[in-house]
């Protein structure tokens, strides 16, 4: 079969990224322009600023990506685009660029769900084998997804309120830790001990998650101790919080794997870079005889390489969009 070079575009939040991926597995060139430093000034992503930066940088990212891959648009066989979910204003920039390129080149436009992209980040490490369970953990998502074959997604559980990364960011704010909260809380926790009595959130028979209660428990605990004039030890509070989060994520994931009779687990999304989560999942999987596949750290955060990988399999499933494709702030993975 002829090689297929997919130009992928991702702009769902605060990274303007493009990549050229061959046959769903080979990364020929990826550019990720992060706006993190700008948003750090505001303590979080400001959607309007994110959109403004995307539009200013979009063609420069395109040029750099083509240069990196030593290609021109004539070498591209299809355009893959994150159509959602994400920040609508940000999504629209990548989407317009992708549609324009599909129009000019006459090549197929492949709509890719952002979470499918995160899952397929693992395909750039090792070709996915099915069936598998995917634990998707990021600033916007906490989901357990069962896959019986390529580009087939069955969501078996998700968060009922805050995403896990969101909970990290909020707890980071309570602890006075700078944005981005996740990596910083992880770092702080590694120097602390699990000494605080925090609840294990939504410890039930479902595969759903809930983190807003745990976040509130952290806020209340700090407040109550402060009232009593007792100083909180940030390292220990971070460690206690992180232990509860990883415990419930792992508990439900492993139970889901037993129930669905799968032996392969992949983790995806920004929080999959969390060292504690990786380490513990790795040992629990070993105990259970499961294989754990983790994405390279550079593919944990938003990037277009994963969209290009997912796009290849979406295309094989006949997922092709017309030029009236629109962005969607929310959309179910299917």
Partner 1 sequence: MINLFIDSSYKALFIALTTDKEVIDEVCIMAEANFSEKLLPLLKEMTDRNHISLNNLHKIFVTVGPGSFTGIRIGVTVCKTLGFALKKRIVPISSLEFMATTKTDTDYKIPFIDARHGYVFAGVYDKKGINIVEDSYTNIQNLIDKIKGSITFISYDDLHLDNTILPKYNILDIITRHLNDEGLNPHEVKPNYLKKTEAEEKLI
Chain residues that interact with partner 1, rule: CB under 8 A: 41-42, 46, 48-49, 51-52, 55-56, 58-60, 62-63, 73, 89, 92-93, 95-97, 99-101, 103-105, 322-327
Find tokens 């940030």 and name the residue.
234
Please identify, using beta-carbon distances, which residue of 59 and 224 lies nearer to partner 1: 59
Kindly tell me which of 59 and 216 has the beta carbon lying closer to partner 1: 59
CB-nearer residue toward partner 1: 23 or 326: 326
Minimal distance, residue 89 CB to partner 1, in Å: 6
Q: Residues in the chain, how many?
A: 334
Question: What is the DSSP code (8-state) at residue 110?
Answer: E
Closer by beta carbon to partner 1, 143 or else 169 = 169
Task: Give the three-state DSSP class for 266.
Answer: strand
**Angle between the 164-174 and 234-259 helix axes, to the nearest 10 degrees?**
170
Q: What is the C-alpha separation between 35 and 14, in angstroms, rounded?
A: 6
We find the least distance from the C-beta atom of residue 138 to partner 1, in angstroms, to be 22
The set of residues, in sequence order, having a beta carbon less than 8 Å from that of 140 and lying 6+ positions away, is: 13, 85, 86, 163, 165, 166
Distance, in Å, from the CA atom of 272 to the CA atom of 136, rounded to the nearest integer, reads 8
Tell me the closest approach of the beta carbon of residue 150 to partner 1, in angstroms.
29
230 phi/psi in degrees, rounded to 5: -95, 130
Cβ of residue 76: shortest distance to partner 1, in angstroms?
10
Q: With respect to partner 1, which residue has the nearer C-beta, 89 or 234?
A: 89
Nearest CA-CA partner of 140 in 313, 312, 330: 330
Based on CB atoms, which residue is closest to partner 1, 82 or 253? Answer: 82
CB of 247 to partner 1, least distance (A): 36
Tokens of 284: 């629990």
In the complex, the smallest distance separating the C-beta of residue 7 from partner 1, rounded to whole angstroms, is 11
């Amino acid at each position: 079969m002829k090689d297929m070079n997919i130009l992928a575009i991702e702009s769902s939040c605060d990274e303007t990224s493009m990549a050229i991926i061959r046959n769903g597995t080979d990364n020929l060139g990826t550019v990720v322009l992060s706006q993190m430093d700008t948003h750090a000034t505001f303590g979080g992503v400001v959607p309007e600023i994110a959109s403004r930066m995307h539009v200013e940088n979009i063609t420069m990212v395109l040029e750099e990506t083509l240069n990196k891959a030593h290609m021109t648009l004539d070498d591209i066989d299809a355009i893959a685009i994150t159509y959602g979910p994400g920040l609508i204003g940000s999504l629209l920039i990548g989407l317009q660029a992708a549609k324009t390129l599909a129009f000019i080149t006459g090549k197929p436009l492949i709509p890719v769900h952002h979470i499918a992209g995160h899952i397929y980040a693992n395909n750039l490490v090792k070709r996915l084998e099915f069936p598998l369970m995917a634990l998707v953990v990021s600033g916007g998502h906490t989901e357990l997804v069962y896959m019986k074959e390529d580009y087939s997604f069955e969501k078996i559980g998700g968060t009922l309120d805050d995403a896990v990364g969101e909970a990290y960011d909020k707890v980071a704010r309570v602890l006075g830790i700078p944005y981005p909260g996740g990596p910083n809380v992880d770092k702080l926790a590694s120097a602390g001990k699990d000494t605080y009595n925090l609840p294990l959130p939504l410890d039930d028979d479902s595969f759903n998650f809930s983190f807003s209660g745990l976040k509130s428990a952290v806020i209340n605990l700090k407040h109550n101790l402060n009232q009593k004039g007792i100083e909180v030890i940030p390292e220990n509070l971070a460690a206690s919080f992180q232990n509860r989060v990883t415990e419930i994520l792992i508990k439900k994931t492993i139970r889901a794997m037993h129930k669905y009779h799968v032996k392969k687990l992949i983790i995806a999304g920004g929080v999959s870079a969390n060292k504690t989560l990786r380490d513990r999942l790795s040992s629990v999987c070993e105990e259970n005889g499961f294989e754990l596949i983790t994405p390279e750290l550079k593919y944990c955060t938003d990037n277009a390489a994963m969209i290009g990988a997912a796009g290849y399999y979406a295309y094989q499933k006949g997922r092709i969009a017309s030029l009236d494709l629109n962005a969607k702030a929310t959309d179910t993975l299917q």
